[in-house]
Amino acid sequence: MTDALLPAAPQPLEKEGNCYFRKGCNPLAQTGRSKLQNQRAALNQQILKAMRMRTGAENLLKAATNQKVREQVRLELSFLNSDLQMLKEELEGLNISVGVYQNTEEAFTIPLIPLGLKETKDVDFSVALKDFILEHYSEDSYLYEDEIADLMDLRQACRTPSRNGAGVELLMSYFIQLGFVESRFFPPTRQMGILFTWYDSLTGVPVSQQNLLLEKASILFNIGALYTQIGTRCNRQTEAGLESTVDAFQRAAGVLNYLKETFTHTPSYDMSPAMLTVLVKMLLAQAQESTFEKVCLPGLQNEFFLLVKVAQEAAKVGEVYRQLHTAMNQEPVKENIPYSWASLACVKAHHYEALAHYFTATLLIDHQLKPGEDEDHQEKCLSQLYSHMPEGLTPLATLKNVHQRQLLGKSHLCRAITHHEESMREASLCKKLRNIEVLQEVLSAAHQRSQLKYTQLREDDDLLNLTDAPDIISKTEREVEIILPQFSKVTVTDFFQKLGPLSVFSANKRWTAPRSIHFTAEEGDLGFTLRGNSPVQVHFLDPYCSAAAAGTKEGDYIVSIQDVDCKWLTVSEVMKMLKSFGQNDIEMKVVSLLDATSSVHSKCATYSVGMQKTYSMICLGIDVDDKTDKTKKISKKLSFLSWSTNKNRQKSASTLCLPSVGVSRPPVKKKLSSPFSLLNTDSSLY
């Protein structure tokens, strides 16, 4: 599984000139994980093709009137639907291919479920960003070709991250970099014309969008997915490995929970709030399972209090998997969650409930209360093990009575055997789980152990004497919880920092084009002072000084002096540079901030195959003008007579103030363009 080009420890950003970049895995490496990811990408393309064909067939069926044509189209639709079902089953098979992601050491443990990385299409930032730099920032776009190339290289590397801390840091670096890019190049009032396409990791359905929200959300999902792959790769035969597994799944749950709370309108099924809630439950359940394995790792001694602890820990794991299985069978998650995942959750729920009853039976049958032992402590532990004792039994009396202990212990063994049989039955009903050999071996061994212990104690009248064993109260010494992503620990340099401080030079603000100011300092006096941090502003400008006569205005930002960039210089540094010229002529370039002007809201539609008539409202601006044109009150125009009467009150005799004459033009109805026209030919999804 040596599929990483980088070592396991996070490496600092490599420096080559002024460009900072990271590398992902070799996409051509023939490892098990890379092969699975390549199969996922190929399946995504096949699903896209099949769904396009199905959409076309459905449209033909609606338009056709000839009965023979309609019958032929119905037949084709049945074939397409069956083909789609087979492709989705193949994708589900990839999602349950847990063996590839597990540790290479042979272990007699139930496999954990990792999440697959979302696939995406290539994106070309160069044209859109160059145009925006020239138009918005009034700078030569060719000066930023290296920075744009670094951004595209970083995105390409994020498609194949290494399965270690360096891979997580790589994805986090790109996510933070996207924040810089969004602030500098994606204004809220217009679209940049860059189409981002990502494929659903569970269904293979593609989703396209023209803003960075889909890109950022998908990167967050992949960070969580990578954490799950790191967790399943850890060696669960060591205490350190199990601790790393618990930590990785807690961090994965934290990332997905952050995604759910931050991006609430993601159009992809796998990133919907309902699906993310279930995925977080699944990851925390697997973390709790690893905590139980850590308790059992040193080996279970046949000791009363230890067995009580282990029984309650097993009951806790069974409880969280039972809750997970219930959540997976709720709408709308049930339709998109892999059937094998829900089956495995049910199998684990029964398996760990069976273990809880087995360990309870062991502590009741194998341990007798002897003189000198702490009766009160054992009585307290036994009473806390159940929510209520069976009818007619008390904790202390049960501990002292050997016959009652055996009867209650055998009742727990019967429940353990029932749960084991149910877990094996559930596993046999799912084709994908039947092919996981280690799962079948673990379930079979646990069932045989409980069966053997009951056989040794079985009596003929057990059916008459045994009562139903009570439920065991779940309890854990370590309650797993989500760990939020710590983006602040990742140091990222803004690729486009040459544009200036982001607080001023962003896509949300507009300026005039840079103006060249030629002036001199008269007797060492510049005629103005400076204020602010980076960049500095002209303050207290003398209206009669040389700089003011050359066109400087109060509040102008100084961007360069003598062709030396000053955007990042402080007040003292700029003042020192200006005074260094003495009486010589100074060339200074300044820009003026323009007032924010209202503009027409942009429309952005998100279309996903399989989600007809469903649009993302993330960036869909509502054109208020369309709604108010009909109700807007039109002011009454002045007639020539009334205008002549009031003409003396006019301050200006400009003809621009003349009222319009004749029939007014009817308001032109604005036609809203189809949201699908925003998609280019390559990414049209229908």
The pTM of the full predicted model, rounded to 2 decimals, is 0.76
Q: Is 576 helix (H, G, I), strand (E, B) or coil?
A: helix
pLDDT given for residue 269 in this prediction: 87
pLDDT given for residue 624 in this prediction: 38
* Token duo for residue 242: 């199990």
Computed over every residue of the chain, the mean pLDDT equals 78
Residue, of 470 and 13, whose pLDDT is higher: 470
Asked whether the CA dihedral 521, 501, 589, 553 is positive or negative, the reply is negative
Residue, of 672 and 449, whose pLDDT is higher: 449
Task: Give the integer Cα–Cα distance in Å for 603 and 626.
Answer: 13
Residue, of 241 and 641, whose pLDDT is higher: 241
Output DSSP code: residue 525: B
With a cut of 70, say whether residue 6 has pLDDT above it. no
How sure is the predictor about 391, in pLDDT bands with cuts at 50, 70 and 90?
A: confident
223, 255 in Cβ contact below 8 A? Answer: yes
Residue with tokens 């960036």: 619
- pLDDT tens profile 272-308: 999 999 999 999 999 999 999 999 887 777 788 888 8
Give me the mean pLDDT over the 374-400 stretch. Answer: 76
Q: Is 198 helix (H, G, I), strand (E, B) or coil?
A: strand
Task: Give the integer Cα–Cα distance in Å for 609 and 595.
Answer: 42
* Token duo for residue 199: 């494929």
Residue, of 625 and 24, whose pLDDT is higher: 24
Buried-state track 346-375, b at ≥16 Cβ within 10 A, e below 16: bbbbbbbbbbbbbbbbbbbbebebeeeeee
Task: Give the integer Cα–Cα distance in Å for 473 and 315.
Answer: 7
Q: How open is the CA angle 582-583-586, to the nearest 5 degrees?
A: 85
Give me the mean pLDDT over the 419-430 stretch. Answer: 94
Q: Among the listed ranges 240-254, 499-513, 668-682, which one has the minimum average pLDDT value?
A: 668-682
* Token duo for residue 94: 């990839």
606, 207 in Cβ contact below 8 A? Answer: yes
Give me the mean pLDDT over the 15-28 stretch. Answer: 48
With a cut of 50, say whether residue 21 has pLDDT above it. no
Give me the mean pLDDT over the 214-233 stretch. Answer: 94
Task: Give the integer Cα–Cα distance in Å for 298 and 300.
Answer: 7
How sure is the predictor about 615, in pLDDT bands with cuts at 50, 70 and 90?
A: very low
What is the rounded radius of gyration, in angstroms, for the C-alpha atoms of the chain?
35
Task: Write out the DSSP string of 241-256.
Answer: HHHHHHHHHHHHHHHH
Task: Give the integer Cα–Cα distance in Å for 523 and 69.
Answer: 92
Among residues 18, 201, 215, the alpha carbon closest in space to that of 119 is found at: 201
Q: Among the listed ranges 165-179, 575-589, 664-678, which one has the minimum average pLDDT value?
A: 664-678
Residue with tokens 């039976």: 361
With a cut of 70, say whether residue 551 has pLDDT above it. yes
